[in-house]
Amino acid sequence: MAPFAMSQGYNIGDKAMDFNLKNVDGTHVSLSDYSDKEGVIVIFTCNHCPYAQAYEQRIIDIDKKFASKGYPVVAINPNDPELVPEDSFENMKKRAKNKNYTFPYLLDKKQEVYKTYGATRTPHVFVLKNQSSKFIVQYIGTIDDNYKNPEKVTKTYLADAVNALLRGEEPNPEKTKAIGCTIKDKAK
Amino acid sequence: MRNLRYLILALFFSVITGTLSGQSIKTYNSFKDYKQLLHQKDDTTYVINFWATWCAPCIKEMPAFVKLQEGYKDKKLKIILTSMDFGSNVDARVKGFMNKHNITSEVVVLDDPDSNSWIDKVSPEWSGGIPATLIYDKDKRLFFEKEFTYKELEQVINSKFDIP
């Protein structure tokens, strides 16, 4: 039995809290909007971070691959635009439009959602499985094993995790780590 | 023949400027080669800072490490600034940064993209964000996933480590 962890954030098996955040198209998006889906791939990401940029196309590809199978991507920018102007809502809109994002790109305006999830860097992935409209955390971590070169990827952690869930299995590994940019928050 | 002369001249100048700007920054493309920097067994206290030239909080805390190195230059404290820079022109970017910030500490580049396989080997407490700093000697290892002020850095060194 693992000792009780005092650190903030979700662990595997936790029920993810619903959120209600503004999307780049002006609407608001909640987890509960996805109650008819198999699950949701929540990815904390942003415009400015070189690691997020390196993974951007792969995030788009993940949504293309898994949205139709019941696991759409929901991207959330956790940064304070006053600290990083490049991550402003206007710039988020531009980016989503330029790259034809097929998924919501939400601003965590009060910077509460990322803290509740325990996101510590960008990009940071949380795969949630829908169990009777409760969204249970099943995978936390990174997308694959090579941020700089998609052609040299040997382990597709996120795709493997979602495929496992689609087969009714548990992801393995269920947690991975990666280098990323810390989240920009005045309160830290 | 003239082309050859120009070629020799160009070669000559590039050698001179190459020499003046020093060696290339030591780059580790595999963590297993880099690892020994984190496990030296002498009586020096090592301060390993993980940073990148594009990382704003890393740049902000860099003067604290420069000042620390200055203050301990005759003592057994060694700072190794480990750049996580990747992509094109890493060598030029890192060198340019060092010149601009008057960095005399050792600087290396760690570019092993399979970070899930080694982050825990630096510290199991690390979730992967930079800046981050590991401070160790032969008896103690402390890890900080945060941005340091000079005061905080000095406080940790003074209170937790003995530096002859």
Q: A57-84: per-residue pLDDT in tens?
A: 999 999 999 999 999 999 999 999 999 9
**Is A6's pLDDT higher than 60?**
no
Tell whether A134 is covered by a domain. yes
Tell whether A20 is covered by a domain. no
Q: Read off the amino acid at residue A43.
A: I
Mean pLDDT of chain B: 90
Tell whether A65 is covered by a domain. yes
Give yes or no for A85 touching B (CB within 8 A).
no
User: Which phi and psi (to 5°) does residue A57 adopt?
Assistant: -60, -40
For the record, the structure tokens of B83 come out as 């750049």
Mean pLDDT of chain A: 94
- Identify the sign of the CA torsion A9, A13, A15, A20: positive
* Residue of higher predicted confidence among B19 and A132: A132
* B130 contact residues in A (CB cutoff 8 A): 179-182
pTM for the whole structure: 0.88
Contact A178 B120 (CB under 8 A): no
Question: Which of B31, B116, B118 to mutate to probe the A interface, most A CBs <10 Å?
Answer: B116
Give yes or no for B84 touching A (CB within 8 A).
yes
Tell whether A104 is covered by a domain. yes
- The predicted structure's pLDDT at residue A80: 97
Cα distance between the two ends of chain B: 62
Tell whether A53 is covered by a domain. yes
Confidence of residue B2 (pLDDT cuts 50, 70, 90): confident
- Architecture of the domain delimited by B23-160: 3-Layer(aba) Sandwich (3.40)
Q: Which residue has the tokens 């940073």?
A: B51
> Tens digits of per-residue pLDDT, B89-142?
999 999 999 999 889 999 999 999 999 999 999 999 999 999 999 999 999 999
Contact A183 B129 (CB under 8 A): yes
Q: How many CB pairs under 8 A join A and B?
A: 67
SS3 A106: strand
Domain total in chain A:
1
Tell whether A13 is covered by a domain. no
Q: What is the CATH number of the domain that holds A120?
A: 3.40.30.10
Tell whether A49 is covered by a domain. yes
Note down the domain range covering A145: 37-182
Closest to A97 measured CA to CA, from A21, A45, A44, A25: A25
- The ipTM, to two decimals, is 0.85
Contact B113 A121 (CB under 8 A): no
Tell me what the mean pLDDT of segment A153-168 comes to: 98
* Closest CB from A50, A142, A152 relative to B116: A142
CA angle in degrees (0–180, nearest 5) for A143-A116-A127: 30
User: Which phi and psi (to 5°) does residue B49 adopt?
Assistant: -105, 130
Spell out the domain ranges in chain B. Answer: 23-160
Tell whether A25 is covered by a domain. no
Give yes or no for B161 touching A (CB within 8 A).
no
- Shortest distance between the Cα of B22 and any Cα of chain A, in A, equals 27
- Shortest distance between the Cα of A178 and any Cα of chain B, in A, equals 5
Partnered with residue A166 across adjacent β-strands are none
**Is B43's pLDDT higher than 60?**
yes
Confidence of residue A111 (pLDDT cuts 50, 70, 90): very high
CB A80 within 8 A of CB A185: yes
* Residue of higher predicted confidence among B4 and A127: A127
Give Cα B107 to chain centroid, integer Å: 4
Contact B127 A177 (CB under 8 A): yes
Partnered with residue B27 across adjacent β-strands are B109
- The predicted structure's pLDDT at residue A164: 98
Question: Which of A11, A157, A182 to mutate to probe the B interface, most B CBs <10 Å?
Answer: A182
Give yes or no for B51 touching A (CB within 8 A).
no
Question: Which of B111, B119, B127 to mutate to probe the A interface, most A CBs <10 Å?
Answer: B127
Q: Read off the amino acid at residue A96.
A: A
